[in-house]
Amino acid sequence: MRTALLLVLASAPFLSAGCSAPYYAMMEKFGVEKRDILVDRVKDARTDQVEAQEQFKTTLEAFQELTGFDGGSLEKAYKKFNGEYEDSVDSAEDVSNRIDKVQKVAEDMFAEWEEELSNYTDDSTGRDLRRRSETQLSETRNRYNAMMRSMESAEASMEPVLAAFKNQVTYLKHSLNAQALASLDDVKVEIENNIGDLISNMERSIAEAESFINEYESGADS
């Protein structure tokens, strides 16, 4: 059973890239529900945000090395900054892709949940259970929406930082001299402030993701 499940998980990216229904059906055969998939994807998004946060910090450090350049190989310093910028672009794309995957399974889970509310019987027991499920659905959706707002805020914070880095990388590519380096001081504070906003938004988003995961796992254990 474990080997079979591992094979399913290994093929999951290919299945989920196409039609979701066969993917969900196969996972349910192994006892993996949409809520489990959602939590796993939130964990992945949290991990990618942590990594992106560190990568943006590293790129800022490479940029600051250029603004404070005081000797050595200018070309080497530029290439380091350019390489870190490209890694930041990749990290940002990873975060965005993870958020898209979280949204997809959440939408499918909530749609299924709402549809299944009509399955309860119309007696006192069924009505009571339906009300409980509706309350739980509303609470879960509100909790998810709060987390998603934080994720999207963090995602949006990456755009001005990447744009600023891209401008500097493009400019320095053809103007790698003392005068060009001096011009970096004009945007240094703005970039540092944008990075500060990004880090703060990332930290809030990561905290929201961890809270969402902990609430689910504590409920699953009880």
Sequence spans of domains, the chain:
33-221
**Cα dist. 16→8, 24, 98, 191, 196 in Å?**
11, 8, 13, 37, 35
pLDDT score at 199 = 95
CA proximity to 160, closest of 49, 54, 55, 56: 56
pLDDT score at 220 = 63
In the predicted model, residues of the chain with pLDDT beneath 70 are 1-19, 71, 219-222
CA proximity to 210, closest of 66, 11, 19, 39: 39
pLDDT score at 19 = 57
pLDDT score at 74 = 85
